[in-house]
Chain A
Amino acid sequence: MTTRTPLSAIALVTPVQLMIGGIIFLPAIYVFWLSLNQSSFGQAATFVGLANYAKVLADPYFWKALLNTVIVVAIVVHVELLIGLGMALFFASGVPLRALLLAIVLAPYAVSEVSAVVMWRFLFEPDVGMMSRLLATIGLPPIEWAVNPSHGLAMVSLLSIWLHLPFSFIILYAARLSIPSDLYEAASIDGASAWTSFRRITLPLLMPALLIAALFRYIFAFRLFSEVWLMTGGGPARSTEVMAVYLYLEAFRYNAFGSAAATGWLLVLASLLLALFYLRRLYKEMFARA
């Protein structure tokens, strides 16, 4: 590894580094400073130490939002990986019209969160939506997403899974396709059942891809905002807020920049914690390679 960086290389990476440094990194650091101060629009900040954190951590709405986030993230990521894995294996086993089917599976990737909310609200519109009527026909209770908080969160989860399944699916499908087929041939010659070759070949070899997909989805699902904001607005009575919605309301509705900043920094810490293992491995790999 050379210790000197050529000038031309520095020039080439400067635009990218300036953008992420100036627009993401410095503001994030500034949020940390904000979180230690009492401030609002047009007011001078006064240093208050950890008071904002204490205030946030004493706020039952914060805990409610955190709990909601954890529940939704746990449901969304795991169900999504499970369906994605199932679909990847299904595709790998050979499907008719593969290219067309692949395009169909990718379609939700193109849909905006706003339009997805329109679609799913319409499907589950009380009494008249297609899914509401279907549920009634088979004798199941209706999904009252506008009034019942757990139903609201279920809708948000369903919507998120639908929007992001293409991502998990593609990662897992690509990984499955890269497993050499002679492994399966050898296994079948040895008389292994389909279940055994799944347990002994597919699952271990897919593990890295599964972990990567899970990591990305944990981190991105944790930021969940638009789906909740547009579906329930955090209501009724602030019962379906998630972390990002709580942060938004603190900052832009209640003008409490200090506690919003504290929440923001807690969000950053949670992301870092989730990714710590991955970052460490990546760090080692990067410096080992060059």
Chain B
Amino acid sequence: MPKLLRHVLKLVGVLAVVAWSLVPIGLIALSSFKSDRDIFSTTGAFSFAPTLANYQALWSRWGDFFFGLWNSFLVTVGATLLAVGVSLLAGFAYSRFASRGLQASAFFLIFIRLIPPIVITLPLFPVVNWLGLNDTHFVLIVLYATFFVSLGTVVMRTFIDQIPRELDEAAMMDGASQFQIIMRVILPMAAQGMLAVSVFVIVYAWNEFLFAFIFTTTKAKTAPLVISEMIGAVEGVEWGVLFAASTVQLVPVLAFVILMQKHLVAGLTAGAVKG
């Protein structure tokens, strides 16, 4: 193939990839700064007078949304701490010990990922109501963490496998307990793995819809749920305000994913290759 043609084809490929990934995101972020008239104007996406009117309207009329963001934040932090903590402990056990029982329980970890979340809402819904836990942060924290501990454990185990056992043994000689070994030796060296697991849980918990939709109504309502109400709220969607809300919800998690790109890739490959 002639060199020039190669370059042109490559450029077309790059442009296609960028357009596919960024046009939907960029369009709503850009349109959130447009007046209602400019949003659907046909004179080109970039010719408009920027305005903060949509953000002001969001602030004054959809206070619920910012409350939802706060709930999302609390739930995300809780679920991440819980999932990373228990995955670290289990990942250590699966990396350092081997027995028939442990193998069986590791198999169970992977097997459990086959059960679709919606199935377990049937029995959990009445139980959660009965316990008075409906519409609490606690329910979402536990559910979100639970659905990521099996992947989390597999990823942690892959990372801990790479830490030399001699380090544990040396610490054990010095009289450290199992828990002290995890906290002092493993934890600092497994930080990469913990970051990889956090990326999964944070993105999932921040964006999740199904459980939030079923288990929360007002007090623990998360941001995606409020946005979904905005889609369905009035006939004839208020696009501008909706774009402002979507942008505010997206920006922190998008920045986080880009920042954590390396860990996300490492976690995805570790998790998928090993199960």
Contacts of B22 in A (CB 8 A): 104, 107
Contacts of B40 in A (CB 8 A): 125, 128
Contact: A119 with B142, CB < 8 Å? no
Per-residue contact bits, chain B 185-208, to A (CB 8 Å; 1 contact, 0 not): 000000000000000000100111
Contact: B98 with A105, CB < 8 Å? no
- Could you say which of B10, B116, B256 contacts A110, with CB atoms under 8 Å apart? B256
Contact: A110 with B209, CB < 8 Å? no
**A121–B243 Cα gap in the complex (Å)?**
12
Given A23-B120, A110-B203, 20 extra CB contacts under 8 A: A2-B100, A12-B93, A16-B89, A16-B90, A16-B150, A23-B124, A28-B119, A87-B17, A107-B21, A112-B224, A114-B207, A114-B224, A114-B231, A115-B246, A125-B40, A133-B42, A170-B264, A230-B209, A247-B122, A282-B107
Contact: B264 with A226, CB < 8 Å? no
Contacts of A244 in B (CB 8 A): 116, 118
Q: Does B51 sit within 8 A of A, measured CB to CB?
A: no
Contact: A251 with B209, CB < 8 Å? no
Contacts of B264 in A (CB 8 A): 106, 109, 170
Chain B binding site: helix, strand, loop or mixed by DSSP? helix
- Could you say which of A96, A133, A223 contacts B118, with CB atoms under 8 Å apart? A223
Q: Does A62 sit within 8 A of B, measured CB to CB?
A: no
Question: Closest residue of chain A to B226, judged by CB?
Answer: A114
Contacts of B250 in A (CB 8 A): 110-112, 115
Given the known A-B contacts A111-B250, A212-B273, are A105 and B21 also in contact in the complex, defined by CB atoms under 8 Å?
yes
The interface size of chain B toward A, counting residues with CB under 8 Å, comes to 96
Q: Does B217 sit within 8 A of A, measured CB to CB?
A: no
How far in angstroms is the closest Cβ of chain A from B239? 7
Contacts of A9 in B (CB 8 A): 93, 96-97, 99, 102
**A271–B113 Cα gap in the complex (Å)?**
10
Find residues 221-250 in chain A having any chain B CB closer than 8 Å to their own CB.
Answer: 222-223, 225-226, 229-230, 244, 247-248
Contacts of A12 in B (CB 8 A): 89-90, 92-93, 178
Q: Does A103 sit within 8 A of B, measured CB to CB?
A: yes
Q: Does A44 sit within 8 A of B, measured CB to CB?
A: no
